[in-house]
Amino acid sequence: MSTTTLIRVAGLLGGGCLLGQAIASSYDSRTALLDGLYWGGAALVLVYLVGIGAGLVSGAAWLRVIVAICFPLLVASVLAVFYEQVSDRVVDGFFGFVIALVCASLILGSLGHQEQDADFIDAPY
C-alpha cells in the first residue's frame, strides 16, 4: 500500500470520526466517546492535511516541510471563521463529511486506475 493511499485512508477515517461525533453529540452520549471521536478524527484529518500539503510541492525538501505545516493551519483558520457563524457540531460534521467523501472518491478512483494499469501491463502484444 502506497503512502498516498495510507494518507487517504487516514482522511477517510478521520472524516468519518468527525461526522460520527457530530451525529452522536445530538443524542445522550457519553462525553468520553464524543471526545475520543473528536480528537481521534482531528488527529487523522491532521495527518491527511499534512500529506496534502507535502504533496503540493515537488522540489526542495525545506519548502515541502513548510507547506506541510502551513496547509493545516490555513484550513484551521478557514474553519475558525465558520465556527463563529455556525454551531461547532454543524461545522465539524460538514467538514468531516466533505473530507470523507473526497478521500473515498480518491481511493476508489485510484483502485480503478490501478486495475486499468494492471490490465494494460498484462495485455498481450
- Segment 58-62 shows an average pLDDT of 89
**Helix, strand, coil proportions of the chain in percent (round to 5)?**
85, 0, 15
List, in order, residues 6 or more apart from 48 with CB less than 8 Å away: 7, 8, 10, 11, 14, 99, 103
- Segment 15-21 shows an average pLDDT of 90
DSSP string, 26-73: TSS--HHHHHHHHHHHHHHHHHHHHHHHHHT--S-HHHHHHHHHHHHH
pLDDT for 121 equals: 40
pLDDT for 5 equals: 87
What's the domain range around 78? 3-122
pTM, entire model: 0.81
pLDDT tens column, 77-115: 999 999 999 998 899 999 999 999 999 999 898 876 655
- Segment 17-27 shows an average pLDDT of 84
Residues of the chain with pLDDT > 70, as a percent, come to 87
At 91, give phi and psi (nearest 5°): -65, -45
Tally of domains in the chain: 1
Instruction: Burial-class residue 2 by CB neighbours within 10 Å (0-12, 13-18, 19+).
Output: exposed
